[in-house]
Amino acid sequence: MTDQAAPDVVFARTIAWLMRMQAGLVVVVGVVFLLIGGMPAALAAFAGGAAGLFLTALSGFRVALSQGSGSRQMVRTFYRAMALKFALTMLLFIVVAIWVPAYFGPVVSGYMVTVIAYWLAMRKAFSTQVS
């Protein structure tokens, strides 16, 4: 089934779906860390997940602003958004590793489930295009 909506509407729906998936996975990881490591570990996992959600929203917003421009400009904007996301992620991990190393694992775990949601979104996007 293909979506007949305008490309910007499809993009917005995809970003919203991705962020819902990320939030759900972050809650699951947070609960797991609550059960095995207590509230501080759970909060650290939620913080990592919140960082991932924020970076997804930031990247999505930057790419959405380029909707309607030429394909070269959209690709350039996408790569810049991903480069910014990568740089901010590395900064986050460095800060956590230096200031609160005891919670590095939960923070990275919370963030990593947001990356897993990207893989699920790509799978969904490609399976929709194929059928």
Distance CA 20, CA 14 (A): 10
Residue with tokens 């996975």: 25
Distance CA 91, CA 85 (A): 10
The answer to whether residue 16 is domain-embedded is no
In which domain, by residue range, is 104 found? Answer: 55-126
Q: Considering the chain, what percentage of its residues have pLDDT values greater than 70?
A: 93
Among residues 65, 64, 46, the alpha carbon closest in space to that of 114 is found at 46
Residue at 29: amino acid letter = V
The answer to whether residue 43 is domain-embedded is no
The answer to whether residue 74 is domain-embedded is yes
The answer to whether residue 46 is domain-embedded is no
Contact in structure between 117 and 18 (CB atoms under 8 Å):
yes
The answer to whether residue 12 is domain-embedded is no
Is the pLDDT score of 42 beyond 70?
Answer: yes
Among residues 4, 43, 24, the alpha carbon closest in space to that of 114 is found at 24
Distance CA 10, CA 97 (A): 38
Among residues 57, 54, 47, the alpha carbon closest in space to that of 16 is found at 57
What tokens does 2 get?
Answer: 């293909």
Residue with tokens 């305008």: 6
Q: What is the pTM of this model?
A: 0.82
Task: Locate all alpha helices (DSSP H) within 4-70, ordered by sequence.
Answer: 7-37, 39-65
The answer to whether residue 72 is domain-embedded is yes
Q: Which of 6-10, 34-38, 81-85, 119-123 has the lowest mean pLDDT?
A: 6-10
The answer to whether residue 103 is domain-embedded is yes
The domain total for the chain is 1
Q: Considering the chain, what percentage of its residues have pLDDT values greater than 90?
A: 55
pLDDT at 122: 78
The answer to whether residue 29 is domain-embedded is no
Is the pLDDT score of 107 beyond 50?
Answer: yes
